[in-house]
Amino acid sequence: MRNGAQSAGADRTGTVGRVARRGIVGGALVLGLGACGLVGGDGNTGAICTDTKQAYQQYIDQVRSASAADPAPWKQATEQLAGRIDGLAKKAEKKELKKALTDESARLRTAAASVGTGDAAQLNAAMSGTPERIGNACS
């Protein structure tokens, strides 16, 4: 039983990492597809959506090599992404996009705190809804 508990704990850590990575990669790809078709429109919306996509792609690249057993790089990368998204929100001219990005930044900051302790649940929840929330605001 003791060995079973240790194995379950080790598996849980690995599973959290795999789930987080899968959610991040899938969410960012859908986000990218949703924002890619945007041409022109409201002020700087196209540029902000393109920059948002790039921020998420860079985040994916950064955490892809991070160990699930070491939450510090995940926290740092997530905090950095939140800061970039917040900066883009401040530049956005379209009211709906500004709000969506501001809300995303807040979700990411909350998720960064918990992912820093090894809990990826809030990060997964934040990332799973990102494509729809940002995609809708970019259209």
- pTM of the complete model beyond 0.95: no
Q: Is the dihedral of CA 46, 48, 54, 56 positive or negative?
A: negative
pLDDT at 43: 87
Residue 118 is given by DSSP the state T
CA geometry: angle at 90 spanning 89 and 93, to 5°?
A: 80
Residue 66: which pLDDT band, with cuts at 50, 70 and 90?
A: confident
pLDDT at 139: 85
Reply yes or no on whether the pLDDT at 13 is more than 80: no
Percent of the chain, pLDDT > 90? 50
Reply yes or no on whether the pLDDT at 39 is more than 50: no
Of the two residues 108 and 20, the one the predictor is more confident about is 108
pLDDT at 33: 39
